[in-house]
């Protein structure tokens, strides 16, 4: 993996509902992540708005529909448009998920878990490498929240490790997803951190979900404040490696008072700088 990736600091996921907050409190937000598919084939004015944002903030496109884990190759037109978008906003990297969202027949519209085998991890690593090479900047792959825990020969941490060993893409570690998966499927998240190549984590996602009660699973809603458990995982991660960026992700249930989200962005920055004071200087 390239070692010269820029340090972005503490960012916020751009959503139209947060547009005003981002404009007004831009000095408290180091960078923005935008949903790739909202901009790829969007009305032209939206692209213009994005270019305006890119003059003010570093921008990273974060995709949800690449469907890396589908058996077929990704759509060439999609990849060309993605490369154009990356170029247009001068993104230091781009990201999507280690999952599938569609098959030849069905579009699930949801990040679905993969049948984790070593063979598949290696196949997907080669595919991710080809995608990274064609887009031209580093590709970060994110761990998902999964509710169906397929009885696979290897676990998620092994699958991610096998994947990373066969490509030079980076890892976008969603700590909220890790926390929810660990609770839903009964594993130790610290053990997970100790068994993946943490030095490959470039960026993290921080978010909150809904705790399951009475046999229900906890749900990754991206609609609650970041819980203390997730902040604790950030501390654990930062004790193990130096990362380039954190991102607070909120997709729904936007707080009336933006101070709540901005305080989370500040807290993440403090954690980053506290762990590696020289990080910002590069």
Residue in 176, 189, 252, 255 with CA at minimum distance from that of residue 220: 176
Choose the one of Fe ion, other proteins, none that binds residue 102, judging by a C-beta under 5 to 8 angstroms depending on kind.
other proteins
Q: Are 250 and 206 in contact (CB under 8 A)?
A: no
Burial of 195 (0-12, 13-18, 19+ CB in 10 A): middle
Whole-number Å distance between alpha carbons of 234 and 227:
11
Separation between Cα atoms, residue 227 and residue 246, nearest integer Å? 15
Q: Which of 88, 149, 168, 236 binds other proteins (CB under 8 A)?
A: 149
Q: Can you give the binding site for Fe ion, defined by CB under 5 A?
A: 174, 205
Contacts of 176 (CB under 8 A, 6+ apart): 145, 205, 206, 207, 208, 209, 220, 222, 226, 230, 249
- State the minimum distance, in angstroms, from the CB of residue 216 to other proteins: 8
Selection from 36, 28, 35, 23 nearest residue 11 by Cα: 28
The window from 85-93, 106-114, 200-208, 263-271 that contacts other proteins (CB under 8 A) reads 106-114
Residue 174 binds which entry of Fe ion, other proteins, none, with Cβ cut-offs from 5 to 8 Å by kind?
A: Fe ion
Q: Which of 233, 232, 227 is nearest to 207 (CA)?
A: 227
Minimum CB separation from other proteins for residue 71, in Å? 6
Contacting range for other proteins; rule: CB under 8 A; set: 104-112, 171-179, 191-199, 258-266: 104-112
Q: Which residue in the block uniquely carries the two structure tokens 């679905």? A: 112
Question: At its nearest, how many Å lie between other proteins and the CB of residue 166?
Answer: 20
- Interface segment toward other proteins; rule CB under 8 A; list 17-25, 51-59, 71-79, 89-97: 71-79
- Tell whether residue 123 is a contact of other proteins (CB under 8 A): no
For position 253 contacting other proteins by CB under 8 A, the verdict is no
Q: Which parts of this chain interact with other proteins (CB under 8 A)?
A: 37, 40-45, 65, 69-71, 75, 77, 100, 102-110, 112-113, 115, 146-153, 215-217, 219
């Amino acid at each position: 993996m390239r070692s010269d990736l820029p340090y972005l600091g503490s960012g916020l996921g751009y959503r139209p509902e947060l547009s005003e907050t981002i404009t007004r409190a831009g000095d408290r937000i180091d960078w923005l992540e935008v949903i790739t598919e909202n901009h790829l084939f969007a009305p032209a004015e939206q692209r213009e708005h994005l270019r305006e944002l890119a003059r003010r903030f570093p921008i990273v496109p974060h995709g949800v529909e690449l469907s890396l884990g589908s058996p077929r190759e990704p759509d060439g037109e999609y990849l060309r448009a993605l490369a154009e978008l990356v170029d247009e906003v001068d993104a230091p990297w781009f990201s999507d998920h280690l999952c599938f969202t569609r098959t030849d027949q069905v579009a699930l519209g949801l990040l679905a878990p993969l049948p984790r085998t070593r063979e598949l991890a290696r196949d997907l690593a080669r595919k991710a490498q080809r995608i990274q090479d064609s887009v031209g900047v580093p590709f970060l792959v994110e761990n998902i929240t999964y509710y169906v825990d397929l009885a696979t020969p290897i676990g998620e941490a092994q699958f991610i490790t096998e994947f990373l060993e066969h490509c030079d893409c980076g890892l976008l570690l969603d700590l909220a997803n890790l926390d929810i998966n660990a609770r839903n499927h009964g594993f130790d998240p610290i053990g997970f951190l100790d068994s993946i190549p943490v030095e490959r984590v470039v960026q993290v996602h921080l978010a909150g979900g809904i705790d399951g009660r009475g046999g229900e699973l906890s749900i990754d809603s991206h609609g609650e404040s970041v819980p203390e458990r997730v902040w604790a995982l950030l501390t654990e991660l930062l004790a193990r490696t130096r990362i380039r960026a954190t991102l607070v992700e909120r997709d729904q249930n936007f707080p009336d008072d933006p101070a709540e989200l901005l305080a989370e962005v500040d807290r993440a920055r403090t954690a980053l700088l506290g762990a590696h004071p020289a990080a910002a200087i590069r």
